[in-house]
Structure 1
Amino acid sequence: MATNPTVLDPIEPRTAVRFYDNPVIGGFHPDPSVCRVGEDYYLVCSSFEYFPGVPIFHSRDLVHWRQIGNVLDRPSQLPLPADASASRGIYAPTLRHHDGRFWLITTNVSAGGNFLVTAERPEGPWSDPVWIDLPGIDPDLAWDDDGNCWCAVSGVRVARIDPGTGRVLEGPLPAWSGTGLQHPEAPHLYRVGDWWYLLIAEGGTERGHTVSVARAGTPRGPWESAPVNPILTHRGTDHPIQSTGHADLVTTPDGDWWMVLLATRPRGFTPGFHVLGRETFLTPVGWVDGWPRVGPVKLTERAPGAWHPVEPEPSRDDFDTADLAPRWISPYTRPPESWSLTHRPGWLTLHATGPTLDAPGATFVGRRQQHPDCRATARLDPGAGRGGLSVRLDEAHHYDLEVVDGHAAVIARIGPVRQRVAERPVPPGQVVLMITTRSPDAPGAPDLVGFHVNGESLAELDGRYLSTEVATGFTGRVIGMYATEGTACFDWFDYEPTERRSPQI
């Protein structure tokens, strides 16, 4: 990214002509990394224990994003051991375009460490991993004018590597580790004019999260800290957006600068609960005296230039295609024998591979909850099996709406407690199941999670127990279909937001 910085007001970009709402990619889409190729932008996020891994998105305006695939869509790319656990797996990818190819580097913290994959096209196919002999997480890639490839990792350290073999050629060299806050991580290197800039996150990914920057004449240093660091944080404020950090920079064809970053939207009574996970936000960047400046991240912000709307993803899936859409994910793995779109054409058939959602190995196919208020509906033919809908944070924190033996039941798993909350008989044959989330009438819980069978309410539960603040970890809610005994068939699945958002004018 060798270009001369434009001196802009840190809040008002030159080409701002419209407005948009943050987050630009809602729900569990943390650790965003972005690159531009011509007028097209591509973005990836962490996926942790879910398969397929590393969702990849396309946009023409940095605002409207459409998922075009998953980078790690084969078991050979994403080995996870049998004892893998929630919030492990794939951490913090970096996406770059260099020498006519796409490059992605990331960490499998459950097996193997740092590796990179490449592709000619962003939707793939992507190569098998090249493992990097370099410890640490949050790896970054950058190339200098001599063609050397530099990799920065958390810590913060910088090494010159051979991206074809993964061999470390120089280093790792100690670099700038921030202002003294905990967990200096998420390093990104950029060549801007005569300087190399090192952007990092520090302070931890919770409420103290920050973005800081330093610069040097070469990737080897020495590094000079910005005169005003951190350049972005919402810590200690009552802003509705919190935990701002883990950022990446990109330029528009017109030369404007933008930042993508993760943040959360906690709701409910203190300490606040974020149930969707860490989401992807967008904010403009200006340059003042040779340093990037960022204003507070707003819920409604000016858009980066002319819009290029993309076709929105359908909210309903009728399972009449040859393969599952890329938004569908499963914990740890998705064995071919666990699901089928051809066993019963026009239906998603799930075959149980484990007896409970309380442990790894169960058959579950879900999508990220992306809106605080939403509803997910599906038509189920339970047959002689056991299955239904579930809102999942991890094996120890999920709410299930289950049908078996002519009865529908709501089951809550919260830490060591598993409780059948409500139950009622259902008629033989197909049933329509619905899970809703809505804002409570009084402060306290972040939301209320409702369960409905054939249009009738069965129960409503406090949503705080499916939040990171209760369960811990790095992920967010995933709503999906499951089978834990025999076979369950789903005719369709529909997801739609129900909250009102500010108008885009």
Structure 2
Amino acid sequence: MLSLIFLITCALSWQECLATAQNSTYFNPVLSGWHSDPSCIQVDGTFYCVTSTFIAFPGLPIYASRDLINWRLISHAWNRESQLPGASNQTHGQQEGFYAATIRHHDGEFWVICEYLGLPGGMLATIFKSSDPYTETSWADPITFITPAGDLDLFWDDDGKLYIPAGGAVLLDVDLATGEILDSTALWSGTGGVWPEGPHLYRKDGYYYISSAEGGTELGHYQVMARSTSLTGPYEPCPYNPVLTNKGTDEYFQTVGHADLFQDLSGNWWGVALSTRSGPEWSIYPMGRETVLFPVTWDEGEWPVMEPVRGEMSGWPLPQTDRNLPGDGLFNADRDMYDFPAGSRFPLNLLYWRAPPEGAFSIAPEGGLRISPSRANLTGDGDELDGRLGISFVGRVQTDSLFKFQVLLDAHPPYVDHEAGVTLFLTQNNHADLGIVSRAADSCKNSTERVLRFRAVGDTAPPENIVTVPETWGAGPILLTIEAVNATHFTFLASSDSQTEEPIEVGTVSGRLVSGQSGPFTGTILGVYATCNGSGDGSRCPPDGDVYVKRWTYAGHGQLYTSSEVRPSSNYTSFGG
């Protein structure tokens, strides 16, 4: 009977039924974990995205996908400190650096534009270009100029002339050879919401469309649009503004905004935006601002209609699943399994908080990741040790609601209060660490012993806990574990590599510690660090403190797509009517 009804209905409207039958189902976020301010394009059937990275290094990751679901990290636009020399160690704030990146393709080249905040000379506009985004070294040193407005876009008009739209819907005409701003034109004042930001300019069906975000990047975030038949206006606001938001709802996905729109090869429109899996209670959201995907209906001469962001989405037919992409970077949903064999390349998905100290990390000749400790620790106390000269800390973004992160660490800190360990890190003001620490031994006046120390920094930090390393573990490497056991808490465990079945639980921390707080634009990083906690002088610790990562693993165990529903930690898509 249902089949008969379906056939009769299709006879009346076969196009509508065919579209329904071919609709795709997928889950958000498509780039899970900290991926703020997404911007995406499609070039010859491959999609490319960039996201903001603030003071993390390398910065401005470039992802590629052929199916909109499987995204491979292929390079970073900022991958050499020399591309912007001295910027990292001049940037003091935890939420400065590269903001609101846009990616575009023009005349065979990929362009990435954004602003860098925190430098003494003012807000620095940067434009990175590459003819081959799969090769890190192809990203040239940036074109730079001081900009009066941030959140920059790239727009080539019909005559091929480049303009740079900026926050507050200001259109900049810039001489890229000299950095001189030739003209600045206000296009549209927006709808009156606070902090108009992230503008993008599109040309379609005889109109210029401006899309920008308003309302701040928290629960009040939303997207608005306006259009004009002339580049310089006047611009008519969309009568249906806001065109995209979850403001004022009880949806699990909140803060939706800072959107960018693009087409697939079939001509279907899609959009990406940032969103936070927090629910309206806005309390625990350790992965911060993530990238979500939504279908867009944009008929000729009409305003675009954007599908509201949910955890489970249905929309246009997705391209056929395809992970056949160049490069050796991980796909966003893949697990880490690294033992750093001699001569191997450094994994592309690992990052630092600012550019690292010179020589702090290397692959040892005998294998393993060698880390030379820094004087600055993760907290960075005082001007000399605030971390601007680099911290010996390397990590990866938390990309799953439930996960297990483990590091087999060979660490024998030679001096009292030297340490190495693993960390759940938001910024230098909010993190929780499990370290192998050297302290004076009670049994012998001039000797030291290893202890496990759990401690956290932040308003909701639990008490410090110290546990003596059991004698039965001997002097071998120690397996340190951070595990998200549920949606709200992380546990910190340690064991000997030969006794992993009975780990010691050294600490537990609420996800509130790494949600918002001092890092409202970022998300949690899981990593390993080594520090002499300020001993030594200049930029150097006392000698003989190197530690070795023998094994590094990260595995996702589940993704929340509503406040109570979990799916397996793998990208998923299905087709059907």
TM-score where L is the length of structure 1: 0.91
Q: How does 1:425-464 map to 2 (within 5 A)?
A: 425-426=469-470, 427=473, 428-439=475-486, 447-454=488-495, 455=500, 456=503, 457-464=505-512
**For the residues of structure 2 that align with 1:156 and 1:88, how far apart are their CA atoms?**
22
CA contact (8 A) 1:13 1:284 kept: no
What residue identity is the alignment partner of 2:452? A
Q: How far apart are residue 307 of structure 1 and its match?
A: 2.3
What residue identity is the alignment partner of 1:318? D
**For the residues of structure 1 that align with 2:284 and 2:105, how far apart are their CA atoms?**
37
Q: 1:417 to 1:263 in 2, by over 3 A?
A: closer
The equivalent residue for 1:366 is 395
Q: How does 1:386-401 map to 2 (within 5 A)?
A: 386-401=419-434
Q: Given the alignment, which residue of 220, 229, 235 partners 1:208? A: 220
Query: What is the aligned-residue identity percentage?
Result: 33
Q: How far apart are residue 304 of structure 1 and its match?
A: 4.1
What SS does the corresponding residue of 1:76 show, helix, strand or coil? helix
The equivalent residue for 1:356 is 377
Q: How far apart are residue 335 of structure 1 and its match?
A: 3.0
Q: How does 1:184-199 map to 2 (within 5 A)?
A: 184-199=196-211
Q: 1:172 to 1:216 in 2, by over 3 A?
A: same
CA contact (8 A) 1:154 1:186 kept: yes
The equivalent residue for 2:547 is 488
**For the residues of structure 2 that align with 1:394 and 1:13, how far apart are their CA atoms?**
46
Q: How far apart are residue 447 of structure 1 and its match?
A: 1.1
> Whose radius of gyration is greater, 1 or 2?
2
Q: How does 1:402-441 map to 2 (within 5 A)?
A: 402-405=435-438, 406-415=450-459, 419-426=463-470, 427=473, 428-439=475-486
What residue identity is the alignment partner of 1:388? G
The equivalent residue for 1:377 is 406
**For the residues of structure 2 that align with 1:465 and 1:378, how far apart are their CA atoms?**
22
What SS does the corresponding residue of 1:264 show, helix, strand or coil? strand
The equivalent residue for 1:245 is 257
CA deviation map 1:407-456 (0-9, x unaligned): 112111115979523423143121111100122xxxxxx51110111141
Q: How far apart are residue 22 of structure 1 and its match?
A: 0.4
Q: Given the alignment, which residue of 336, 345, 352 partners 2:366? A: 345
CA contact (8 A) 2:94 2:519 kept: no
The equivalent residue for 1:144 is 157
Q: Given the alignment, which residue of 46, 49, 63 partners 1:57? A: 63
What residue identity is the alignment partner of 2:506? L
Q: Given the alignment, which residue of 153, 158, 180 partners 2:192? A: 180
**For the residues of structure 2 that align with 1:453 and 1:16, how far apart are their CA atoms?**
49
TM-score where L is the length of structure 2: 0.80
CA deviation map 1:175-223 (0-9, x unaligned): 1132100000100011112111111000100011001111112321111
**For the residues of structure 1 that align with 2:189 and 2:53, how far apart are their CA atoms?**
26
What residue identity is the alignment partner of 2:430? H
What residue identity is the alignment partner of 1:409? R
**For the residues of structure 2 that align with 1:410 and 1:348, how far apart are their CA atoms?**
23
Long gaps (5+) in structure 2: 1-14, 325-330, 381-386, 439-449, 533-544, 559-565
Q: How far apart are residue 294 of structure 1 and its match?
A: 1.0
What SS does the corresponding residue of 1:81 show, helix, strand or coil? helix
Q: Which has the higher helix share?
A: 2
Q: Given the alignment, which residue of 315, 319, 324 partners 2:340? A: 319
Over the aligned positions, Cα root-mean-square deviation in angstroms equals: 2.3
CA contact (8 A) 2:56 2:355 kept: yes
**For the residues of structure 2 that align with 1:13 and 1:318, how far apart are their CA atoms?**
47
CA deviation map 1:467-488 (0-9, x unaligned): 10x3353111000011013221
Identify which range, 250-259 or 458-467, moves more after superposition: 458-467
**For the residues of structure 2 that align with 1:414 and 1:305, how far apart are their CA atoms?**
43
CA deviation map 1:126-156 (0-9, x unaligned): 1112113431111000101211101011122
**For the residues of structure 1 that align with 2:282 and 2:50, how far apart are their CA atoms?**
30
CA contact (8 A) 1:84 1:332 kept: no
Q: How does 1:114-133 map to 2 (within 5 A)?
A: 114-123=125-134, 124=136, 125-133=138-146
What residue identity is the alignment partner of 1:356? N
**For the residues of structure 2 that align with 1:255 and 1:472, how far apart are their CA atoms?**
38
What SS does the corresponding residue of 1:337 show, helix, strand or coil? coil
Alignment pair present for 1:306 and 2:319:
yes
Q: How far apart are residue 14 of structure 1 and its match?
A: 7.7
Q: 1:319 to 1:382 in 2, by over 3 A?
A: same
What SS does the corresponding residue of 1:32 show, helix, strand or coil? strand
Q: Given the alignment, which residue of 258, 283, 307 partners 1:295? A: 307
Q: 1:287 to 1:496 in 2, by over 3 A?
A: same
What residue identity is the alignment partner of 1:93? A
What residue identity is the alignment partner of 1:118? K
CA contact (8 A) 2:209 2:227 kept: yes
Q: 1:366 to 1:14 in 2, by over 3 A?
A: same
**For the residues of structure 1 that align with 2:246 and 2:462, how far apart are their CA atoms?**
37
Q: How far apart are residue 17 of structure 1 and its match?
A: 4.0
What residue identity is the alignment partner of 1:404? V
Q: 1:345 to 1:218 in 2, by over 3 A?
A: farther
What residue identity is the alignment partner of 2:400? H
CA contact (8 A) 1:451 1:458 kept: yes
CA contact (8 A) 1:396 1:415 kept: no
Alignment pair present for 1:109 and 2:117:
yes
